[in-house]
Amino acid sequence: MRYRLLSALVASAALAVDAAPAAAATYDYIVVGSGPGGGPLAADLARAGYSTLLIEAGGDEGDNPTYAELATFNEAANDEATRWDFWVKHSDDPAREMKFKHTTWDTGDGTFYIGLDPPEGAKHLGIQYPRAAVLGGCAMHNAGVCSLPQEDDWNIIVNKTGDTSWEAHKMRKYLTRIEKNEYLATGVSGHGYNGWLATSRGDAGWVADDSNPGTKIFKKMAEVLGLDPKHAVEMANGDILGADEPKDTTNAFYNMVQHGGKDGKRSSPNNYVRATLADPKKYPLTVQLRTLVTKVLFNTTTSGLPRAIGVEVMEGASLYRADPKHIPGTKGPISQIFAAKEVIVSGGAFNSPQILKLSGIGPAAELNKFNITVIKDLPGVGEQLGDNYEGSLLALGKAPVPIPGLVTALFRTPSAPTKKRNIFTWCGTFSFEGFWPGFPTDYGPNEFECALVHMAPKSQAGTVKLLSADPQDVPDINFRFFEHGGEKDLQELVEAANMMREAWQAGGDAVRPFEELHPCPGMQGDKRAANCTDALQAEYFKEQAYSHHATSTCAIGADNDPLAVLDSKFRVRGVVGLRVVDASAFPVVPGAFPSLPTMMLSAKAFEDVLADAGKLSGGSR
Cα separation, 590 vs 587, whole angstroms? 9
Whether residues 380 and 393 share a domain: the answer is: no
- The residue from 544, 568, 584 where one domain ends is 544
Whether 375 shows a pLDDT value over 60: the answer reads: yes
Using CA atoms in the order 61, 433, 85, 382, what is the torsion angle rounded to 10 degrees? 110
Backbone angles phi, psi at 471, to 5 degrees: -65, -15
Q: How sure is the predictor about 452, in pLDDT bands with cuts at 50, 70 and 90?
A: very high
| Strand pairing class (145-146; 257-258) | antiparallel
Q: Where are the alpha helices (DSSP H) in 266-394?
A: 269-278, 348-358, 364-369
Q: Could you tell me if residue 272 is inside a domain?
A: yes
Q: Could you tell me if residue 99 is inside a domain?
A: no
Whether residues 427 and 372 share a domain: the answer is: no
Secondary structure (DSSP) of 33-96: --STTHHHHHHHHHHTT--EEEE-SSB--TT-HHHHBGGGHHHHHH-TTTEEEEEEBS-S-HHH
Q: Binding site: which residues?
A: 134, 142-145, 293
Average pLDDT over residues 364-393: 98
Whether 412 shows a pLDDT value over 60: the answer reads: yes
At residue 75, the pLDDT reads: 98
599 sits in the region (left: phi over 0; alpha: psi -120 to 50; else beta) called alpha
Query: Does residue 591 contact residue 597 with C-beta atoms inside 8 Å?
Result: yes
Cα atoms found within 13 Å of the Cα of residue 39, Cβ hemisphere only? 35
Query: Does residue 564 contact residue 380 with C-beta atoms inside 8 Å?
Result: yes
Whether residues 520 and 500 share a domain: the answer is: yes
At residue 244, the pLDDT reads: 82
Whether 499 shows a pLDDT value over 60: the answer reads: yes
At residue 522, the pLDDT reads: 87
% residues pLDDT > 90 (the chain):
91
pLDDT mean across residues, the chain: 93
The model's pLDDT over 183-221, given as tens digits with 9 standing for 90+, comes to: 999 999 999 999 999 999 999 999 999 999 999 999 999
Q: Could you tell me if residue 13 is inside a domain?
A: no
Average pLDDT over residues 168-197: 97
Cα separation, 612 vs 592, whole angstroms? 32
Cα atoms found within 13 Å of the Cα of residue 74, Cβ hemisphere only? 14
Whether 19 shows a pLDDT value over 60: the answer reads: no
Q: Could you tell me if residue 617 is inside a domain?
A: no
Q: Which residues contact 617 (CB under 8 A, 6 or more apart)?
A: none
At residue 347, the pLDDT reads: 98
Residue type, 440: P
Domain tally, the chain: 3
Whether 8 shows a pLDDT value over 50: the answer reads: no
Average pLDDT over residues 400-425: 95
Whether residues 439 and 500 share a domain: the answer is: yes
Whether 21 shows a pLDDT value over 60: the answer reads: no
Q: How sure is the predictor about 343, in pLDDT bands with cuts at 50, 70 and 90?
A: very high
Whether residues 245 and 392 share a domain: the answer is: yes
Whether residues 209 and 192 share a domain: the answer is: no
Q: Could you tell me if residue 83 is inside a domain?
A: no
Whether residues 369 and 511 share a domain: the answer is: no
At residue 525, the pLDDT reads: 64
The model's pLDDT over 595-620, given as tens digits with 9 standing for 90+, comes to: 999 999 999 999 999 999 977 544 33
Whether residues 441 and 525 share a domain: the answer is: yes
Residues spanned by the domain of 514: 203-255+388-461+481-544
- The residue from 544, 569, 586 where one domain ends is 544
- The CATH number for 224's domain is 3.30.410.40
Whether residues 158 and 271 share a domain: the answer is: no
For 327-334, which contacts have Cβ atoms below 8 Å and span 24 or more sequence positions? Answer: 331/472, 332/292, 334/294
Q: How sure is the predictor about 24, in pLDDT bands with cuts at 50, 70 and 90?
A: low
CB atoms near residue 142 (< 10 Å):
23
Whether residues 395 and 248 share a domain: the answer is: yes
Q: Could you tell me if residue 490 is inside a domain?
A: yes
Cα separation, 469 vs 458, whole angstroms? 32
Whether residues 295 and 366 share a domain: the answer is: yes
Whether residues 373 and 395 share a domain: the answer is: no
Average pLDDT over residues 448-462: 97
Q: Could you tell me if residue 74 is inside a domain?
A: no
- The residue from 528, 544, 560 where one domain ends is 544
Q: Binding site for FAD: which residues?
A: 134, 142-145, 293
- The CATH number for 381's domain is 3.50.50.60
Q: Could you tell me if residue 33 is inside a domain?
A: yes
